[in-house]
């Protein structure tokens, strides 16, 4: 994703390597991007500022890959996801090769490892993607975020509340 979409303030790729010695609170809550808040650009000229997950609109998704070749559960450093309407927090534990797909407008935070991790950094790479809806007559299967064999995605926080 180029600056033509996000502007100069959002990089299309990010790397994280928190360590236990990092200052408490160093990694604050943030979103990667919200399509409603995009700066004026050729992108907004074509697609406008449509909310994420709006039917028929492009969907902004972050793909976070945990890169550490070894990570023990006792070392901590989860990615924290916050459901702002309810205050509910979900933690995704790092694991070698694990892929976390999340909408870019979800409030989240990096966590530093526990002291038990020693000086080991918890490496991750974040790719900021835009998934386009299928064109008229195309199959919706090409925009699925998960393999059906993995089971149904879990709705958390206010997304899990009845509408």
Question: pLDDT value at position 22?
Answer: 94
Whether the predicted pLDDT of 110 surpasses 70: yes
Q: Which fold has domain 3-135?
A: Jelly Rolls (2.60.120)
Per-residue model confidence as pLDDT tens digits over 21-30:
999 888 899 9
Query: Helix (H, G, I), strand (E, B), or coil: what is residue 99?
Result: strand
Alpha-carbon span 108 to 144, nearest angstrom? 22
Chain centroid to Cα 42, Å, comes to 24
Alpha-carbon span 81 to 108, nearest angstrom? 4
Lowest mean pLDDT among 9-13, 33-37, 53-57, 81-85: 9-13
Question: pLDDT value at position 144?
Answer: 59
Query: Helix (H, G, I), strand (E, B), or coil: what is residue 52?
Result: coil
Domain boundaries, the chain: 3-135
Per-residue model confidence as pLDDT tens digits over 65-92:
999 999 999 999 999 999 999 999 999 9
């Amino acid at each position: 994703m180029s600056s033509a979409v996000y502007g100069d303030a959002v990089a299309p790729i990010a790397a994280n390597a928190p360590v236990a010695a990092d200052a408490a609170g160093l990694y604050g809550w943030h979103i990667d991007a919200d399509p409603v808040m995009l700066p004026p650009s050729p992108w907004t000229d074509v697609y406008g500022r449509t909310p994420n997950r709006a039917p028929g609109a492009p969907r902004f998704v972050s793909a976070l890959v945990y890169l550490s070749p070894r990570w023990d559960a006792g070392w901590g450093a989860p990615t924290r996801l916050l459901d702002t309407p309810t205050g509910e927090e979900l933690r995704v534990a790092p694991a070698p090769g694990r892929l976390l797909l999340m909408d870019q407008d979800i409030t989240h935070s990096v966590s530093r490892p526990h002291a038990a991790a020693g000086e080991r950094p918890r490496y991750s790479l974040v790719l900021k993607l835009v998934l386009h809806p299928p064109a008229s007559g195309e199959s919706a299967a090409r925009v699925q975020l998960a393999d059906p064999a993995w089971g149904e995605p879990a709705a958390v926080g206010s997304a899990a509340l009845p509408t």
